[in-house]
Structure 1
Amino acid sequence: MKEHYKILLVDDEEEVRKSIIKKINWEEEGFLVVGDAENGVEALEKIENLNPDLVFTDIRMPYMDGLELIKEINNRYPLIKSIIFSGFDDFDYAKEAIKMGVIEYVLKPVSAIELTEILRKVHKTLDDELSKKRDIEKLRSSYQASIPILREQFLNGLIHGNISKEEIAYALSEYEINLEGASKYIVATVHIDDMDSAIVAKELIPISVKVNLRENLENKLQAEIFSMYSESSITVIAGLPDKMSKNYIMSILSEAIKDTGRVIGVDLTIGLGIIVEDITRLHRSYTLAKEALGYRGIVGTGEVIYIKDMQPVESLRLRFEDIEIKEYINILKFGSDESIMEYVEKIFSKLKESRVHSSQYQSYMINVINVIISLVQDYGLELSVLTKTATDYIDLLDKIKDTGGFREWLLEASINIAHRIREDRVTTSKKVLDEAKSYIEENYADIELSLEKLCKYLHVSVARFSTNFKKETGISYVNFLTNVRLQKAVELLKTTDEKTYIIAEKVGYADQNYFSYVFKKKYGVSPSKYRQQG
């Protein structure tokens, strides 16, 4: 089936545009005429909405000629191709057009037969480019290059329990994961205790630790070593034969810690999770390996900490799981007060029903507090937003000596931080919008005032600001600027006797004719006629 490419026709003569549209069976030749424009300025406005593949433009046009239009298209929309057609057999124009990457230069008048031949040639060019982009070999090469990234994504998904058994079987083979054939599995999380080394540069320490661990575990454990996306720690997944014991694994990891200290000059602490027999249960071992690392303050650094040595099995069920953390943070950011209260009750109910030792209550509470404090820091808020009386972390810990105090504090802190996040979101958006409007009001007379210049002044991205501006004001930036300029022009027409060209310059238009064109388009009459009518 023939590909259809979208065309925008640009010519200041309406009859020419209509003639070109009528004389060709566009669809049969693989094109769709999605619109037309009478000058370069109007064409740029339409390109934003119509997103054509090809612009077919005259050279000589008012306000912005064809070459200027193509220059703007190349800057803003580099994927759009351009064809020049002109009645002026001017070699200089042709040279300039070729420099700009114009794919065809057509002389007027052109017959339907000639134009059809040109379009077929252009269609083949576009087809060839599309074929290259779809080239299977390129895709295969790209895939091969991305395998290290895909391996890392798979391993991260595996320990978070996000991958099905069928996907696991495929990925183990496809990505050459060193876990096939194992009877059971275990996860270890590696914490770099000190990022200052006299041997290795700080930025190279994490990668150096991974390389050293790989060398130490090679031929001793069937293992994969990789980094976590959201954390600074390194993770090890080991596949084990039936007879390999936990003590053997700990001895290998202990030797790796010593060798890392000798070779790289940093201390490591390794948390070791439980052994699981099903690879889909690795997330459980990973969760407990991370929990084991939390005991390094008790055990000390430079050790392998096995989770079962640190707490009884029955207390393991009281955990603020990753999925709960994500859900809680999402509610704080976007939920209502009612949904926040419901979730706090859910947390408290889990705490109350767990019936574990009081030390585990406090461990759970500290996990929740750390999540909240991280969120407070992410938004640059003061700690006082959490409660009226606590001023630092120690004060917060004092607030949660019992579950009743924790429940009261958590509800107050959760609602307070949610309100501040909402306020900051609204305030920031309104502040940027107000600042933009003020800047336009103060600089509308600047002939070179553009969306890019405004966004550079505001230190915001063009795409995001453009979307937010239109969402908040109901009109685009260009229309807003035009309205401001024309309002100022109306004031000058009413209150002064200045010539039209002077008023045009004062409101930001270098071209009097274009000013009159825009003015008449909005008010239905020319500036001079508007003044005469009072």
Structure 2
Amino acid sequence: MNKQIKWSKLGLKTVFNLTFICFIVVPILIVLIGVLNILNKQFKVQAIENISRAQETIMTELSSDIQTMSMRLSHLVHGNNNEVLDYAAGTNTNDLEKRNVYQNKLNQAGGLVLEPVSDIISVGFYMKDGKSSFYKNSINWSYEKIKGTKWYQTALQRNNQVVVGWITSEGRNELYSGSKQDNLMLVFALAPDRKTDRSERIEMIALYQLSRTGDKMKAYNKEYLSGKNKLGLMQLRSADGEIIFSTITDQEMLSRPTYTYVKTPVTLDEDTWYIESYIPTKELTSEFWKTAKYVLLVAIGMLLLVGYCSRYFIRSIVAPIEKINTGLRQVEEGELAIHISPEGQYEIRTMIHSFNAMVRRLQALISEYEEKMKRVEKSMETYFEELMTGNITPKEVMQQSKDFFEENYAILYFVLNDSKGKEIEKIEIEKVIHCFMRNPRFSARCTVYVEDSMHMYAFYRMTEEAYLDVTYQMISALQKVAKAEFGIEIDVCIGEKVFGGEAFYTQIAKVKETQLYRYLKGKQVMFSLGDSLVNKVMSLVPQYEALATAIYVADERNILKEKEKLFSTINKMGKEKIEEARWQVLAVILALAKKFEEAQANFHEVFGEAVPYEIKLARIEDIKSLKLWLTNYIEWLVDYEASKLGEKETDTIKKAKHYISSYYENPDLSLGEVAEYVGLNEKYFTSKFSKETGESFMNYLIGLRMQKAKELLKTTTFKIYEIAEMVGYRNVESFNRVFKKYYGISPLQYRKTM
């Protein structure tokens, strides 16, 4: 009772402060300290996750390097009927003149088979007699030293399989002229068997690649040492503990218990490498606790201030402001029939009076605006948007507005690509358009419609007769500013100059179809519908859609059939019409790009960049080289699509065709084996295969074998019985009988006609 009396006798301010401290300040401080400890642990976990993500980036790039270079080495060895190996074997001679001839052939063939990549340092051919030949740079290490490496010995045990290894350079120019000590040098080795190396002279083929992964790890370490990141020191180590790549000089320091150790495995065929990061444990959360102390002090200060001011705010400010806030929400929702009774301090009452006056003024302004809008026509932007969305027709626009189609115009089609591979957000596109409006010609002449995150149209009004030059200047300026300020690369297709609404939708369709041509020009390109080359190549695209479809699904039989038609067309043109032959090849590439777009796949990902095919093909001056380039290009695409097939393809018939094209040379290949591979029983698979392909499994297999045989007869000097074995026949008599039934002449007669 006494305690209740004493408590009741305390002043209201004292009671409020005691209550505020006991029930608000103390619990908040306890929660704040607890939360800071939890956040400390979370920051540590987040820091380790950041390190892991950086390692995963390194792992992804390293794995991509290994996969790409392994495919390049396989393509170098097996492409063009093992032509490169024949030339390399030819250099193994004491005849200097003969050796130079074969070395030149090796250099020329290597240049055609391998896409120019600066990271490829050398391709070494090590002979069984201890001699060696090189494409590009010569490797300074002796044959004995190379042969003693783990990767060399491993490759010798796995004929025709690519083995990945590394070389650690101990000084500048030690490995090759221009080599450095702190570079990551990967080696891709392959020991050919008798079937691959018909000369039986080559013991090992080694592709030396300077991996940019090492530069990235080196950059991470440099940034860490300069305090720009918290990723620690990073290095690459093999499964048996041998350091593959490192810029860390003091390895003993890393074994101290004060360091946190994070590693990510990089899985190879039969080996594993590890990306390791070392960072002092205290650095993971050091910055957090520096900030946490100040946050705690500020929180306590704010609590004291709020406690002191709370009673006044509650009675004289908070309650009236809540009423004003409620009124504002009603205004935001469109309800203007409101009135707030003034109360609280003088300033608050004045604010309430002003709010009531503002609501009345808004009511009057909205009424005036609605009346005015009834008498004003739509803006150019509104008309353009409604035309693009189909909410209005060009004829209706011409009836409602005299200005929209008053001048000549052209449709510009913009394709926006983030140079870092990120998806462009809508707010970023709006910033880009706002930036474009700083260009006087664009802001005065163009009305924009954004189709999606990558594409937009511009309705471009013009008065000049020769409009292309000034248009190219304007677009070039827009491309530069978008690249500089936002990291966005822009391709633009320029429509024809037309007048009136009748041609509007025709022009929209034309620029949307013709924008495909950007895939032939490279990065940051612009081209016009008035370009005769563009129109000529685009008109040829439908002829090669079947070939593009076959390549996209890695259907080798149809690839051979359609490629034969294409080569027949090119051969008829002859060397005097090399330019027209180039048009055919450009049309094939465009058909492939179209196929990729329809499948919502990135065509530029095949070679990792936008390739300027127009320029590349213009350098090829004869039909034979053009056909060779196209053959290599198709083989590369088929290898690329085949590697993707197992990851994403669910169509059983496509998987079956790919399996058949991979194992057709096996005489025992059967319907049951293929059905088991795709996971279906034989009866259902037979019915499904016949229904979707229009022919039986056996007819398809025989057709593929005959296509392969015809190609070998035409392009190689193998004996007839050797070709029979290579396409899946145990005896030459059966092969001759099937070939003659299929083509009407014997294999020998066919070869003579060729």
Normalised by the length of structure 2, the TM-score is 0.24
TM-score, structure 1 normalization: 0.32
